[in-house]
Structure 1
């Protein structure tokens, strides 16, 4: 077995641990700091959980050029999806106040009352809650930081897993 195939497993576990830390801070922000997540925040969390699961599967399956390439593709697709949600959220935060969509109900209520597709459509058309910036670090909002982490983790995951699939020179 190639050394690259062996060294990609610890990388995937470390990347999964980063996802856990990010999710832990999101829940800390909600339950300790009192920051209520908007629907787009919830979708970003779901995307981060999906990225975490793909990293764990990649670490568990390990080896094999085909598996490593499949994992690289799944990591890339999941990270790009999460970054897209973050980008949409950042867009909502930078719209002028008169262009915000009207405030809607919270995600739990929308899921109970509306179909999945209606809830998805309402979440992505934005609410006043999604446009508020309640938290910032170094001038960037939480969705911006989450987007950066999606891009970093996704790029590194694709690179490491694709590299592991190549034969050593």
Structure 2
């Protein structure tokens, strides 16, 4: 019963989730620029996904806070669709980084590199999206004993669970 109750506060939860994703990117930037943790292409791709998820959540949550039920519920359900798709993409990226890319010496010109180059992220925002390590090097960094991509995957899994819960929740009457 309590698990269903928190879903009723969806606009605030959307905003909170958006802020959590921004905090994850902020933490990664602090780790990079203050503590010398070098990101690989898959790390950068996950940052970009967290920024997009954050934008979706903050815009959707802000809009939903302005609306009344049942339109509010519809707005949250609409936000849940891109949230689920982006979360699955992030979970795939984190899993691939951990299981495949971190085991190889070079991950250059892989899918993550191509996506980053397609959107020209390194050139436009180098302080946030500059690739400075290969996946093997990036896989060696730990936070509280776990690789960064595991933490990232956990946050993507949380986003996915919340998005699915909103998509599958029965409408209130």
**Ranges in structure 2 where 5+ consecutive residues have no aligned partner:** 120-132
Report 1:31-110 matches (<5 A): 31-62=33-64, 63=67, 64=71, 65-92=73-100, 95=103, 100=104, 102=106, 104=108
**Ranges in structure 1 where 5+ consecutive residues have no aligned partner:** 118-127
Secondary structure class of the residue paired with 1:72: helix
Q: Could you tell me how far 1:52 is from its partner in structure 2?
A: 0.4
Secondary structure class of the residue paired with 1:167: coil
CA 86–12 in structure 1, closer or farther in 2 if over 3 Å, else same: same
- What is the root-mean-square deviation in Å for CA atoms of aligned residues? 3.2
The structure whose RCO (Cα within 8 Å, separation 6+) is larger is 1
TM-score, normalisation: structure 2: 0.70
Report 1:1-169 matches (<5 A): 7-62=9-64, 63=67, 64=71, 65-92=73-100, 95=103, 100=104, 102=106, 104=108, 116=118, 129-132=134-137, 133-160=139-166, 163=169, 166-168=171-173
Count of matched residue positions in the alignment of Structure 1 and Structure 2: 147
Ranges of 4+ aligned residues in structure 1 off by more than 3 Å: 3-6, 101-105, 160-163
